[in-house]
Every structure is written in C-alpha cells, then in structure tokens.
Amino acid sequence: MKKLSLLLCGCIAHLLSVAQTAKPALALVPQPVKVTQTTGEFVLPKTVIVEAGSSADVANVTAYLKRKLSTAAGTFVTVKATAPTAPIRLVLNKTADTLIKTEGYKLSVTPKKVVIRANDAAGLFYGVQTFFQLLPKEIEGLEVAKGVKWAAPAVEITDYPRFAWRGLMFDVARHFFTKAEVKQYIDAMVKYKFNLLHMHLTDDEGWRVEIKSLPRLTEVGAHNVKKVGQFGTFSPPAADEPRTYGGFYTQDDIKELVQYAKDRFVNILPEIDVPGHSLAAVVAYPELSCTPGADKYVVNSGEPFMDWSGPHNRAIVDNTLCPANESVYTFLDKVVTEVAQLFPFGYIHLGGDECAKNFWEQSDAIKALMAKENLKTMSEVQAYFEKRLEKIVESKGKKFMGWDEIIEGGLGPNAAVMSWRGIQGGITAAKAGHEVVMSPTTFAYLDYMQSDRVNETKIYATLRLNKTYSWEPVPDSVDARLIKGGQANLWTEQVYNIRQAEYMTWPRGMAIAEDVWSPKGTKNWDGFFSRVEKHFPRFDEAETKIAPSAYDPSFDAVLNPDSTLKITLTNEVNGLDTYYSFDNSFPDRFYPKYTTPIDAPKDATTLRVITYRGKNPIGRMVTMPLAELKSRIKK
C-alpha cells in the first residue's frame, strides 16, 4: 500500500511538472527549418546594448532593430562593436556556416541573452524578424505600448530559405500607389522574409516611371479619368472629363524606393510591359503603333477595350507596339537604358503577356517584316520582337525576363521565364535549360477572390488560403536548380487603395512566404493556420488590413426533384461550427447548426450563415441569395 501511495505521488508530481513546463506552441511564419524550445524566457531590459559590427549592411539591421524596439517597447538601444555581455548580439560568422548559406541564421534565445549568427547581414535581418515574432504582438505597434511584459520564450532555431527568389508582384500601373504606400507594402512583406518586390510599372492605364529622354510617357501617359465601380465595365470617358487621376515616380523617387528596399534586403524587379499592355506608351508616342489613328487614342480608364471572349484575346483598340517599326527599338533602348541605371537588380522584366495580334494581322508593315524575316505566324512575330528586346537588355548588363508567352514562337537564348498560366510554361522553359520563376494563377494570384463572390470584390476566379498553402513550386519533371523560386502577383484592376491591397495580400502572402522559404515536405494545414491566426492581432497592432475570408464557408448546391435547393457548406478552417437561417434573420449559435446538406424551404429567398469557434463568432455574417446559388447550377 505504501509503495502504491508513493507511486501515485510520483505520477502526480510528474504530471504537475509536465504542466508547469509545458511550453506554448510558437507561431512562427514561415516555419523555420529546425526549432527546439528550451526552458525559461528572455525579458527585454528597458535599456538594451546590442553588440554588432559596423558595416553598412549590418548597420541597416541594427537600425531596423533599434527603430522597432524604441517605437513599440520604448526601449533605449545602444549599439556597440564589442560588448560580449550585451543582452542582444548580432554575430557575422568568421568562417561561413555552409548549412545556412547566405540568408540563413541561427537564433539562440536564453534567459540571459539573444544571439543571432549568420554568414551575411541578410541572415541577421531574418533572424531579427523571427525574434520579433517571439515577442508580444505589441512589438508591431506604431507607438509605445504600456503594461507589456516584453518576453520571448527560450528557443534554439536553425533556419534558411529553400529558394533565393521569394517575391511579391505589386501592380502600380492599373492604380497608382504613392511612394509612401510602396514603402508600407515593403515593410509588411519583409516581416515574412520576402526578398523581392516586382513592380509592374507600365500598362494600358498608366506609365509610372519617369524616362527623362521620353518625357511624354509621364506627361501624357501617367493619368486617366477617375472611375469608381467595376473596372472593365466603365462607360467611355467624355472628352471634357479631367485626366488627372494617377501619377508616376520620378527618378529620384525610384532611387529612394530602391534604397529603402535595399536597406531591408529586398531587391526591386522593374517591369515594363511590352509589346501588349502598351496603350499608355502609344498615347504618348503614337508613332510606336502599327495602326493608323493611334494619335486619337487615350489612356484607358477602365472602359472595355479588349475582347476576352474567344480562344485568343482581340484588341478593340490597338494597345501594342509595332515589331516592324525600327523606331520602337530605338524607343525601347532609351527606356531600358534609364531603367537599367535606376534599378541595380540583375533582371529586367519586359512583360510579353496577353499581346493581342489582330491589328498586326491587318498591318502591311507586319506582312513585310514576316516576308523579310521568314516569319510564319504572329507568335513568331512576337518572338522576333522579344529576341531583339533581349539583346537590348543584355547590352545594358542585365538579364531579360518575361511572362511565359515569350516561349511561343521561339524563346531567346538567355531569357528567363516567369510562369503564370499554370506551371506548364515553367516546365517547358526549364526543360529547355532556362531559368524559371513560378507564379501560377492556380496558386499565387492575389487579385483572385478569397471566399465566395457574394462576400468579396468580384473578379473572375477564387483562390482560397488553403489552396495557396498547398503550392509546390518545383514540378517533379524538371531540374530543380533551374527553378529560382516563386512569387505571388497582386494585379490591381479592382484594387483602388492600399487598404484593399493589404486585404488581398494577407494572409495569403503568409502562405506564399512559407511555400518559398520552408523545407519541402513539412507542410501541415491545421498547424499553419493555427500559427497564422495568431498573427492577426499583430496586423491589427501594425494597422495593416488583413482578410478574415478563411473563416467564411464555401457554398455548393444542387436541385432537388421539386426544384428546391440542396445546399452544402464547407469550412476551410477545421473546428468551426456553422449556424444558418432562411427566414431573413441574422443567425447566431442558438440557430440551427449545419451538420449535413440542407434543403432550402420552398419559398425562401435568402440563406444567411455565420461561423463560430465554441461560443464566439469568428466568421463574417454571409448573406447568400438563393437565386445566386441557383444561377450557379450547371444546366
């Protein structure tokens, strides 16, 4: 009996010990390569000494660290080159650690100190980002937070990225975003270890970068008529409506943005989209067009000017540069010369996508070019253009990149391909020995709706968070060494302001970040989302807008024999309960709970649903007209 009593006491003591030492799960995004939680926590002193080197790149890291700690925690930070007992140490390895490579780091948090070791300043920067994720959410605040215990759990982390190219594309052409807003976007993306901002600088709605040798590009091409509503359906602007909506970046603005990004270990990839998507350029310089009457064109304001209904898009207004016109190549040489000088990154993206060729088919100049160069198809005409453009880019010491349409008609010898129409373009290019960046619509298009269209800004496709998270950037059939990495693309036809840009990017951007940083084979949806939603309060602290769309259910319906609807609801996030009503009232958890497909009452017009976690509402109230559901059923 005594032995049993001792055994019971020992078991209880063990259970108490486990309970006392149980550590809360860390919410780190992207998931590091290796994480080991240890005992205790580091508490940030009110006055902090940071030991770090004084090189320019390391100084950028310490300046970032100092700014965040002083802004949110009110901590006074001093940086010293030598301070072995400093509570925070940033250490560049004297002998390179081959495991973590250039951008990796090792982070050690103990009750006494925080030490980040890396081979390069970029690794120190990413280690700092992980350290911030260990601190309370208030670290993301824009002012000093009161009453916060600034503690980080003790942990040992080894981390490095899977891919060197980890990007977000920001379309600043369809709607102009200010220099300050672009900086704001950069500040959000670096928290999740993105290192490339692809700026889509030109399109039919505006030319956004100053080219000093071609001033009309921004004098004429940077502004249109302000329209609000469903982009692509607007009425044509009247002649007397003011063309004052838009803007552009001066060359000094670009230099400032490039430096701002560089200080945060981000490269900026410029994109000048040609030969299609070039209406703003044609309006500024009509002689670039093959089509008579181009001098009457205006910069598009969102009114229809393309026919997307057929297998090949057709232009209503010719928005292309003319491959048969030698002045086009002189023009492009001037543009590329100045762009190459402004952007130090080694690549220039020259678009190449969605080029309508119906006006080319009518052009005598194009027909003469085809005869002269022995070109058989319009795709070969575009390939001729792309190959000449590649030589111009290479003459400036840069590498040419384009969307996957540049494969059609024959790819230039050194071109890099960005695969957007699924992954097949990337597979084709990689098998031909070309570098590839994956950015497929199927996983990485952030302009797509995030939940049902009754609850989102309407666009033609949906991409939910769990689908984005399921992305594998390297197809099985290609040499992985040719896949430089991946990126997500935010096109802004339907994005009118920075708040909506943030809403469309986050949290799907966090899924992309993990897709391109974390090791292959480590994904777990439930684990990922449990980490992601712990970041939602951090976005609130930073006053960055985030989409709650993952909590919204998906709707599917079929017709019953009596022509009423049988409706299926599916939750993307596990562990939620869905409550519903058909009586035009607003359901809560005292309403019927969805468990199996439900039949809509005969005369009902509206289904409303809301998701709960336990007793707390967590999703949005979604109102679904039954006529809308019925319209989706295939006849």
Which residues does the annotation mark as catalytic? 203, 277, 354
The amino acid at 264: R
DSSP letters for 506-518: TTHHHHHHHHHHS
Number of Cβ within 10 Å of residue 583's Cβ equals 10
Sign of CA dihedral 627, 628, 634, 635: positive
* CA proximity to 43, closest of 83, 87, 80, 86: 87
Element (H, E) at 317: none
Rounded to whole angstroms, what are the CA distances from 55 to 18, 50, 188, 257?
Answer: 45, 14, 25, 21
**Strand partners for 274:** 351
DSSP letters for 247-295: --B-HHHHHHHHHHHHTTT-EEEEEEEESSS-HHHHHH-GGG-SSTTGG
Element (H, E) at 623: strand 622-625
Tokens of 471: 């992305």
Q: Given the DSSP bridges, would you call strands 114-118 and 105-109 parallel, antiparallel or unpaired?
A: antiparallel
The torsion angles phi and psi of 526, rounded to 5 degrees, stand at -60, -45
Phi-psi region of 427 (alpha: psi -120 to 50; beta: other; left: phi over 0): alpha
DSSP letters for 217-237: HHHTTTEE----SSTT-PPPP
